[in-house]
């Protein structure tokens, strides 16, 4: 592999898109070629400059309000008896069928309840994240550091959210807000990674259908990670509190943040 080959693949190399073979060849070349090593540094410096300092231009509140008001949320109900009543009965029939099939399994195997409930936890986490993204005032407290955000929740929720990770250069803490997770209040912490918004929901863990299978060890906790509607979601519990981390960020990077959070929490 010569200098020209290496230069043309530097971005792929830095973003981990190469297979082990070519990646090793490039690494070996960079160790022996000062010019290509400087080119690699220059690419890295440019990426960091863009990610950290390129000014961002979010939409104005007026535009958000206008589009949100005009965006249709549900189709109108019209048409025949079947379309009005028959269709609405389909979910009921479906529920009946599911109950008939699932009830014996429920009694045979307690895990089923947890497995079937988990999607609702994942779905709710994604919904909360979307609500935050589309909100006209996503952050109720802007971050001046974790010691400003955490005390803000006092008196607003019925528990103290345990989040020891104060954010760092990779994942700066943006602020917090109060949210609702299923039937309970949640403390929402918002982190950033480049242009990606990451929501961390903290809520009381008891009484929820936590997943018991497909768990990975992450620091001192066992976490469940999945993808829903294009968003990566990581769920875990620590003591009496539950945590849901959601973002469109790459799953590897999101798990890295989850590691920092769970290791500290």
Q: Which residues bind other proteins (CB under 8 A)?
A: 4, 7-8, 11, 35, 38-39, 41-43, 45-46, 49-51, 53-60, 63-64, 66-68, 70-76, 130, 133-134, 194-196, 229-230, 248-250
In whole angstroms, the minimum distance from the beta carbon of 227 to other proteins comes to 11
In whole angstroms, the minimum distance from the beta carbon of 154 to other proteins comes to 30
Nearest to 174 by CA among 149, 206, 208, 202: 149
Closer to other proteins at the Cβ: 39 or 139? 39
C-alpha distances in angstroms, 168 versus 65, 185, 190?
Answer: 32, 27, 13
In whole angstroms, the minimum distance from the beta carbon of 83 to other proteins comes to 13
For the record, the structure tokens of 262 come out as 């769970």
Closer to other proteins at the Cβ: 230 or 239? 230
In whole angstroms, the minimum distance from the beta carbon of 39 to other proteins comes to 6
In whole angstroms, the minimum distance from the beta carbon of 63 to other proteins comes to 5
Closer to other proteins at the Cβ: 62 or 90? 62
* DSSP code per residue over 39-90: HHHHHHHHHHHHHHHSPP-PPPHHHHHHHHHHS--S----S-HIIIIIHHHH
For the record, the structure tokens of 88 come out as 């609405």
Task: Return all residues near 247 (Cβ < 8 A) that are at least 6 apart.
Answer: 129, 193, 196, 197, 198, 199, 231, 232, 254
Closer to other proteins at the Cβ: 44 or 109? 44
Closer to other proteins at the Cβ: 54 or 95? 54
């Amino acid at each position: 592999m010569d200098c020209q080959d290496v230069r043309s693949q530097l971005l792929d190399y830095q973003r981990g898109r190469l297979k082990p073979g070519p990646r090793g060849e490039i690494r070996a070349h960079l160790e022996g070629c000062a010019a290509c090593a400087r080119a690699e540094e220059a690419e890295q410096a440019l990426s960091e400059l863009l990610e950290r300092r390129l000014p961002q231009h979010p939409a104005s509140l007026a535009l958000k309000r206008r589009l949100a008001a005009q965006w249709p949320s549900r189709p109108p109900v019209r048409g025949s008896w079947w379309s009005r009543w028959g269709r609405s009965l389909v979910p009921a029939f479906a529920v009946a069928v599911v109950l008939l099939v699932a009830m014996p399994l429920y009694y045979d195997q307690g895990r089923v309840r947890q497995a079937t409930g988990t999607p609702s936890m994942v779905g709710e986490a994604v919904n909360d994240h979307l609500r935050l993204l589309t909100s006209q005032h996503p952050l109720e407290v802007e971050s001046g550091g974790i010691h400003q955000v955490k005390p803000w929740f006092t008196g607003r929720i019925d528990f103290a959210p345990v989040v020891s990770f104060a954010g760092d250069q990779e994942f700066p803490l943006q602020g917090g807000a109060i949210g609702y997770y299923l039937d309970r209040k949640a403390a929402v912490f918002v982190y950033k990674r480049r242009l990606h918004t990451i929501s961390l929901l903290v809520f009381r863990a008891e009484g929820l259908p936590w997943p018991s299978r497909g768990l990975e060890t992450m620091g001192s906790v066992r976490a469940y990670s999945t993808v829903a509607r294009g968003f990566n979601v990581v769920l875990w519990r620590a003591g009496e509190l539950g945590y849901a981390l959601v973002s469109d960020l790459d799953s590897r990077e999101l798990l890295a943040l989850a590691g920092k959070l769970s290791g500290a929490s």
